[in-house]
Structure 1
Amino acid sequence: MRCRWGRWVLVLLLFILSFTWAQPALALTEPERLVVEVWHIVNRAYVDPTFNGHNWQKVRQAALHPPPETMEQAQAVIQEMLSRLDDPFTRVLPQSQYRNLQTTTAGELTGVGLQIVLDTERRVPLVVAPIAGSPAAQAGVQSQDRILAIDGESTLGMGMDTAASRMRGLPGTQVVLTLERGERRWPVTITRQRVTLPSLTWDLRPGGVGYIQLSQFSAGSAAEMAKAIQALEAQGVRGYVLDLRNNPGGLFQAGLEIAQEWLDQGTVVYTVNRDGLETDFTAGGKALTDKPLVVLVNHGTASASEILAGALQDHRRATLVGETTFGKGLIQSVFKLSNGDGLAVSVARYETPLHHDIHRRGIVPDQMVSSQSEATANDPQYEAAVAWLAKNFVPTVAAGG
């Protein structure tokens, strides 16, 4: 009898335990779901499997204890969570910025015309480059300038999305930026504008020099580049200066396509994912020209610009003149979140054809020349490029000679 009761107690205990285990987990609130959604995307896609040395499971636990009760609290928790990665390019894009991203890559921009990242040491926005022709460029803002305040409000610790949104606004309105360059600090008033950006301009200059300035990599950039090269070839160009100064990048695919217009064959770039697996992107067609080429670069040359410059340098297709480039060697994918925001996540890093990892290092030009970014008669970088071309032009053979 005692044994029979023991069996019933055991059965009853197992029934209680199984019933308990079968209970569904408590439903997450909307703010909690947003935090978990961002955590999951980063967990499966982020380029660094060590998450910058953080236990990502514990980061999730900390983010949900105590659980955020409002969407504003959730956004603050997400920002804190992403800050553990020490990666300014992995960030939430508010709905307006997410929409602007689509139009910017198509060649349009609204606002002051700056690309910024977080200066992780100073915790303020750092200018990658002003867009050529933008209000910021006209106001004299330069690559590597720090933005200390926007309309009098300190940017110390301010998120990049918040800083970007403060600089956006209706065309015709003004914003005051407090800038720092070296030891100098000063305010500058910029009038916001809607700017339609031609990504490429070109002309044939004295001595048969074909000058091409590429300001960003947008959807139509490769087609514009092809037209420029073909037109210059028809005009008897003897060599090229490709100006990538203050080009902050843009579409990865556009960078690949333009590299293929200058290279006959070979690897353009390697991408390396979180598992260390390499993917190579190659040029396999026929270059549009084989004439001498100099590429101008500076501290504002970033991302897709560095892919192009690195490929041309490694294949010895071009000589690079100017200053060390910005050093953005990470590739982002943008995910749409359930609340309509976007999430940019660094999913891979890229290496040049000779396997140079340029992230936070940049590309060192073949000829270092310090200068500003305008190509004028007083531009030492441009003058150095023309001097190099003059020594490397293919001699013209007279007819019948």
Structure 2
Amino acid sequence: MRNKRRLAFLLAIAIVCGALALKVPTLVRAFAGPNEDIARFIDVLNKVREYYVEEVPTSELIEGALRGMVESLDDPYSTYLSADEYREFKASTSGTFGGVGVVITAKDGYVTVVSPIKGTPGERAGLKPGDRILKVDGKDIRGLDVDVASRLILGEPGTEVLLEVESEGEQLSLTITREFIEVNPVEAEMLAENVGYIRLTSFNEHAGERLREALATLDQKGMQGVILDLRGNPGGLLNQALEVAQEFVPEGPVVYVEERGREERRVLDSKLDQAKWPLVVLVDEGSASAAEIVAGAVQDRKAGVLVGEKTFGKATVQDVIPLGDGGALKITIGRYLTPSGRSINKEGIMPDVVVPMPQKVRLPALELKRVLMPETGGLDVAELQQRLKLLGYDIPEVDGIYSGETVEAVKMLQGESGMAATGQVDKDTLEAINNRLTAVNEDDPQIKKAIEVLKELTIKKTKKAA
């Protein structure tokens, strides 16, 4: 059925393009009556070409019509991709692209940050989940298709892009230098008491493979339980969600997919004989799509415990259909349901254990190219003031001027760190500031709760085995 739909769409485009030179009556006779809509399209196209005040390339008119066709679906996840856009889309799903390293979606008419990718320019610039991107290099993108907006943000490594952002009620202008982004979606480490911690940042085409490598490494070190961190994970490829789920969810359904033209739901199953480790999955409002497939399967199949905050709520499935001109059609082909039959679209998944994350600003390490001296100023001073304020020092105003309370705060920090209170922000003082920032950023109540829950699960598993 899907192949027939693809053929019909491509045939329609071929007919339209081939008929551009025909007059409307000729076209109507060619279609023998039942295709009045196509004739109407050609009629409007010919009149625009003939009467519009300026000559417009036919290719631009056709592309505009194609975009309008898909936009009429009123679906933020369906879009027509030009050849350039399709190349960029494939690069993003493969895990390598040139840009700022931030994942975006359409929400309430705004291009909204789902999550910045760890270690990228977007994260270093301070972009956070929920931030709204209003302009890109001066171009207003409110209401713009998310893929078109993404294309504006992407670009050659080394070039700059100016983003105007609304963040927690404030409007910010951020100039960010693009980099070549190579996304390894997995970060793993062993925490205390043999608790394995794995953060999965996206479901690109390497997610399943990298996860299995991380699990094998931690298992060799004696891992007794797993924390799978899906916070801020915007989703990705459906097949990778299945691969990840199959490492934790026992044999049986992972997700149901409802598609047009299919009387029965398609079932995607796990083949895992038995779960090897107790599992806690961390989720939040940035956990979406494929991340919610995994979380929903874990929750419904009782394969682990969800901890954190309610997820984003995207439960639609998209397919990407290549077109003959090098472009593609990204279109919603189905909706998915969790193993218990729940639809979580626009609703999200409520975790088993709700742990709010304190709404405090998290700032990356301070980077300085000079020693800051009292009675100087600059953007680097403003960045220093932001971090001192986060650390609890009395900074009445972030004004970029290194004097008064800011100097006193630095002297206080130097004294607390066992250094001479010179008021100069040299290399040692910078290190002390960044060490404090690291401690603040690592104070994560959701991970602490996950460890508590995992200990309880491990005890229950041990008792059952005995």
TM range (shorter): 0.7 to 0.9
Identity level (%): 34
Contact kept? 2:203, 2:241, Cα under 8 Å: yes
Equivalent runs, 1:209-288 vs 2, <5 Å: 209-275=195-261, 277-287=264-274
In structure 2, relative to structure 1, the CA distance for the partners of 1:62 and 1:316 (3 Å cut) is farther
The letter for the 2-side match of 1:207 is: E
In structure 2, relative to structure 1, the CA distance for the partners of 1:62 and 1:81 (3 Å cut) is farther
Moved more, 239-248 or 360-369: 360-369
In structure 2, relative to structure 1, the CA distance for the partners of 1:331 and 1:206 (3 Å cut) is same
The letter for the 1-side match of 2:173 is: P
Pairwise CA distance, 1:202: 0.6
Contact kept? 1:94, 1:161, Cα under 8 Å: no
169, 181, 187: which one aligns with 1:201: 187
Equivalent runs, 1:307-318 vs 2, <5 Å: 307-318=293-304
Over residues 300-353 of structure 1, what are the superposed CA-to-partner deviations in whole Å (9 max), with x where a residue is unaligned? 111111111110111111111112112221111111223221110111111110
Contact kept? 2:76, 2:145, Cα under 8 Å: no
Contact kept? 2:236, 2:290, Cα under 8 Å: yes
Q: Which residue of 1 aligns with 2:286?
A: 300
Over residues 157-211 of structure 1, what are the superposed CA-to-partner deviations in whole Å (9 max), with x where a residue is unaligned? 4333332221111111111111113422211121100011111111111122100
How much is the aligned-residue C-alpha RMSD, in angstroms? Answer: 2.7
Over residues 235-269 of structure 1, what are the superposed CA-to-partner deviations in whole Å (9 max), with x where a residue is unaligned? 22221110111111122111101111112211000
Aligned residues: 347
Contact kept? 1:294, 1:320, Cα under 8 Å: yes
In structure 2, relative to structure 1, the CA distance for the partners of 1:210 and 1:341 (3 Å cut) is same
* Stretches of structure 1 lacking an aligned partner (at least 5 in a row): 1-25, 34-56
Pairwise CA distance, 1:380: 1.5
The letter for the 2-side match of 1:350 is: Y
In structure 2, relative to structure 1, the CA distance for the partners of 1:58 and 1:389 (3 Å cut) is farther
Q: Which residue of 2 aligns with 1:385?
A: 450
Task: Provide the C-alpha distance between the structure 2 equivalents of 1:156 and 1:253, rounded to a whole number of angstroms.
Answer: 32
Over residues 281-315 of structure 1, what are the superposed CA-to-partner deviations in whole Å (9 max), with x where a residue is unaligned? 1112334x432211111111111111111101111
Runs of 4+ that moved beyond 6 A: 57-62, 372-375
Is 2:340 the counterpart of 1:340? no
In structure 2, relative to structure 1, the CA distance for the partners of 1:222 and 1:277 (3 Å cut) is same
Is 2:73 the counterpart of 1:78? no
Task: Provide the C-alpha distance between the structure 1 equivalents of 2:336 and 2:77, rounded to a whole number of angstroms.
Answer: 14
* Stretches of structure 2 lacking an aligned partner (at least 5 in a row): 1-13, 22-34, 50-57, 363-437
Task: Provide the C-alpha distance between the structure 2 equivalents of 1:266 and 1:169, rounded to a whole number of angstroms.
Answer: 43
Is 2:106 the counterpart of 1:106? no
Q: Which residue of 1 aligns with 2:44?
A: 66
The letter for the 2-side match of 1:93 is: L
TM-score (norm: length of structure 1): 0.79
The structure with more helix, counted as a fraction of residues = 2
Task: Provide the C-alpha distance between the structure 2 equivalents of 1:211 and 1:31, rounded to a whole number of angstroms.
Answer: 59
Task: Report SS of the residue matched to 1:190.
Answer: strand
Task: Provide the C-alpha distance between the structure 2 equivalents of 1:29 and 1:377, rounded to a whole number of angstroms.
Answer: 58
In structure 2, relative to structure 1, the CA distance for the partners of 1:158 and 1:224 (3 Å cut) is closer
Q: Which residue of 2 aligns with 1:330?
A: 316
TM-score (norm: length of structure 2): 0.69
In structure 2, relative to structure 1, the CA distance for the partners of 1:225 and 1:160 (3 Å cut) is closer
Task: Provide the C-alpha distance between the structure 2 equivalents of 1:60 and 1:350, rounded to a whole number of angstroms.
Answer: 33
Over residues 57-90 of structure 1, what are the superposed CA-to-partner deviations in whole Å (9 max), with x where a residue is unaligned? 9986765551265221222222222222211111
